């Protein structure tokens, strides 16, 4: 356990002592230094105080004193002055390391560096501590997953005598966001599970990796963050209120010695999706984590076959029926049966909206995104948009919004959307949309159109988003008219002028349909029309 970059309640190390958890502790010396004698003396005082306070905890094996100290270097436009700054950091590191070894010659010292190998090597910071820690986020804040094992190998080749620990690694998983085609920084639980599976696999291949610390056990407050859940860092294996996410069960399957089986998607027990064209079911993937030799999945009483877990996971594409679905995972080991059960409530969307058996009830649609969103307050599941298909629903024209100049976000914005707790509904949109069609049968319907002006709504440039380029300004204003079944419902609609940027806007309409379904037309007056999300519910 790496105990953060600041003092913790004494109960943390007391628990480590009782449970046999190895721990490293450190002082709050993060990202930069102040070049003054008083600052240096203060750092020395903190280090000595930390050691003397915690010396008798048997769980503590490392004393740490810097975290990502070169992440945001000073004097970038004056290289000679910057060299002096770097030299002062190195001198401070030597002083802190020497004091630590004098205070406690029995434990290790460590510096945790961010992933700029050459910068830390050239400044001598990799030579000073007994253990070198690397905070690595390849495939998250920047780069690709494959850069992670390449970095580990580089350390081993160039610093073969220096013990290596991965002092931080992780990826955000907003527990409300799921995806069947996960990509970097979409905040889906599925991408994060894939991230951890890859990292653990690569570390286990390399015995020279002495230890690794997941960042973090549980979601926690981080005031400067915006993203899908503002002011929360979602890298936890648990939610902020300690509900396990899928990666938690993955690690349990990989690391526990006791027989283990768990349906990974247990948190996602309310789903929706469109029925297959030739069946009365919707096929969607479901993962099981286990360390058993093989696992069988049974859905609504029918076996989906046996599979052998690969790196702690196995996956089936299973048929969900409308209503309640009973799922059971089971496996044998040493003639003993191990099982796990899950009930999923599924709202099946008819392939054809005029289906008389699977009757249309409601749709909650995210435009410009390839992810699902579950609102745990209302119990509503939002599904990704689709291109219009006759007899069904979907957009006509336009493209998903992607922030210009941002190489990190796959789509949408990471800006905090004011006026809502459900930011993901408003953080993506279809830009340049010409119309939206829903081929519902005759009846009375409630429609809610959701908008937010996210152009020029980039999130804060956080220091650890290393690959973040500066978003380009797009000053073009937009205004448009909206017609529903030829009736003007929004005239000269200018989201930014009327509501400001990055604010949730909803427009509720009642529509009577006789024969032709519902057609929403967006008529541009200036700039391109947009639509962020859409809800439709059959009243009667």
At 459, the pLDDT band (50, 70, 90 cuts) reads low
Token pair belonging to 489: 């419902």
> Strand 282-290 and strand 362-366: pairing?
unpaired
At 474, the pLDDT band (50, 70, 90 cuts) reads low
**For all residues of the chain together, what is the average pLDDT?**
95
> What is the pLDDT at residue 463?
61
Residues 459 and 414 sit within 8 Å (Cβ to Cβ): yes
> What is the pLDDT at residue 475?
59
> What is the pLDDT at residue 265?
83
Q: pTM for the full model?
A: 0.95
pLDDT > 70? residue 471: no
CA 332 to chain centre: 34
User: Using one digit for the tens of pLDDT, what is the confidence trace for 409-450?
Assistant: 999 999 999 999 999 999 999 999 999 999 999 999 999 999
- Measured from the Cβ of residue 101, the count of other Cβ atoms closer than 10 Å reads 15
> What is the pLDDT at residue 92?
98
What are the residues whose beta carbons fall under 8 Å from the beta carbon of 37, sequence distance 6 or more? none
pLDDT > 80? residue 461: no
> What is the pLDDT at residue 468?
52
Token pair belonging to 431: 């830009």
Residues 6 and 46 sit within 8 Å (Cβ to Cβ): no
d(CA 230, CA 457): 14
pLDDT > 60? residue 107: yes
Residue whose tokens read 């999945």: 297
> What is the pLDDT at residue 251?
98
H or E segment at 144?
none
User: Using one digit for the tens of pLDDT, what is the confidence trace for 2-30?
Assistant: 998 888 999 999 999 999 999 999 999 99
**Percent of the chain clearing pLDDT 70 (strictly above):** 96
Considering only 163-167, 268-272, 514-518, which range has the smallest mean pLDDT?
514-518
pLDDT > 70? residue 331: yes
CA dihedral 452, 457, 463, 465 (to 10 degrees): 70
> What is the pLDDT at residue 495?
97
> What is the pLDDT at residue 278?
83
* φ/ψ (deg, to 5) at 466: -70, -30
User: Using one digit for the tens of pLDDT, what is the confidence trace for 292-310?
Assistant: 999 999 999 999 999 999 9
**Percent of the chain clearing pLDDT 90 (strictly above):** 91
Q: Quick one: average pLDDT of 181-194? A: 97
User: Using one digit for the tens of pLDDT, what is the confidence trace for 374-420?
Assistant: 998 899 999 999 999 999 999 999 999 999 888 889 999 999 999 99
> What is the pLDDT at residue 476?
74
d(CA 271, CA 322): 10
């Amino acid at each position: 356990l790496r105990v953060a970059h600041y003092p913790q309640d004494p109960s943390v190390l007391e628990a480590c002592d009782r449970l046999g958890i190895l721990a490293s502790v450190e002082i709050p010396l993060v990202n930069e230094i102040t070049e003054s004698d008083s600052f240096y003396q203060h750092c020395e005082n903190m280090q000595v105080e930390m050691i003397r306070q915690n010396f008798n905890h048997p769980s503590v094996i490392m004393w740490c004193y810097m975290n990502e100290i070169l992440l945001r270097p000073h004097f970038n436009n004056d290289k000679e002055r910057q060299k002096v700054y770097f030299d002062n950091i190195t001198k401070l590191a030597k002083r802190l390391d020497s004091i630590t070894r004098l205070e406690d010659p029995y434990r290790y010292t460590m510096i945790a560096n961010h992933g700029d190998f050459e910068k830390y090597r050239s400044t001598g910071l990799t030579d000073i501590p007994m253990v070198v820690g690397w905070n690595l986020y390849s495939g998250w804040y920047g780069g690709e997953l494959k850069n992670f094992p390449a970095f580990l190998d580089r350390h081993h080749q160039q610093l073969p005598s220096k013990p290596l620990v991965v002092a931080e690694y992780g990826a955000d998983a907003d527990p409300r966001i799921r995806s069947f085609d996960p990509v970097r920084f979409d905040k889906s639980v599925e991408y994060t599970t894939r991230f951890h599976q890859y990292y653990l696999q690569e570390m286990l291949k390399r015995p020279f990796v002495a230890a690794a610390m997941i960042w973090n056990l549980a979601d926690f407050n981080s005031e400067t963050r915006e993203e899908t859940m503002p002011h929360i860092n979602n890298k936890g294996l648990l939610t902020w209120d300690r509900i396990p996410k899928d990666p938690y069960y993955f690690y349990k399957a990989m690391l526990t010695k006791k027989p283990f089986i768990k349906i990974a998607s247990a948190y996602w027990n309310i789903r929706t999706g469109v029925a297959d064209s030739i069946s009365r079911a919707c096929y969607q993937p479901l993962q099981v984590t286990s360390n058993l030799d093989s696992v069988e999945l049974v859905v609504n009483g029918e076996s989906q076959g046996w599979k052998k877990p690969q790196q702690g996971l196995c996956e089936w594409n299973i048929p969900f029926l409308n209503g309640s679905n009973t799922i059971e995972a089971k496996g044998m080991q040493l003639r003993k049966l191990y099982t796990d059960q899950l009930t999923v409530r599924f709202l099946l969307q008819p392939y054809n909206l005029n289906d008389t058996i699977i009757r249309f009830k409601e749709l909650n649609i995210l435009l410009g995104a390839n992810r699902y969103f579950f609102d745990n307050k209302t119990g509503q599941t939002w599904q990704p948009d689709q291109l219009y298909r006759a007899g069904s629903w979907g957009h006509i024209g336009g493209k998903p919004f992607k922030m210009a100049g941002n190489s990190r976000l796959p789509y949408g914005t990471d800006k905090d959307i004011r006026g809502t707790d459900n930011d993901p509904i408003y953080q993506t949109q279809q830009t340049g949309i010409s119309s939206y069609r829903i081929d519902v049968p005759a009846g009375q319907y409630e429609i809610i159109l959701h908008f937010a002006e996210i152009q020029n709504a980039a999130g804060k440039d956080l220091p650890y988003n290393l690959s973040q380029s500066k978003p380009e300004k797009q000053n073009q204003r937009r205004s448009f008219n909206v017609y529903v079944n030829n009736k003007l419902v929004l005239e000269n609609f200018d989201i930014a002028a009327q509501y400001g940027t990055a604010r949730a806007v909803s427009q509720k309409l009642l529509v009577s349909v006789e024969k032709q379904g519902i057609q929403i037309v967006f008529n541009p007056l200036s700039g391109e029309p947009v639509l962020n999300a859409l809800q439709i519910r059959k009243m009667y």
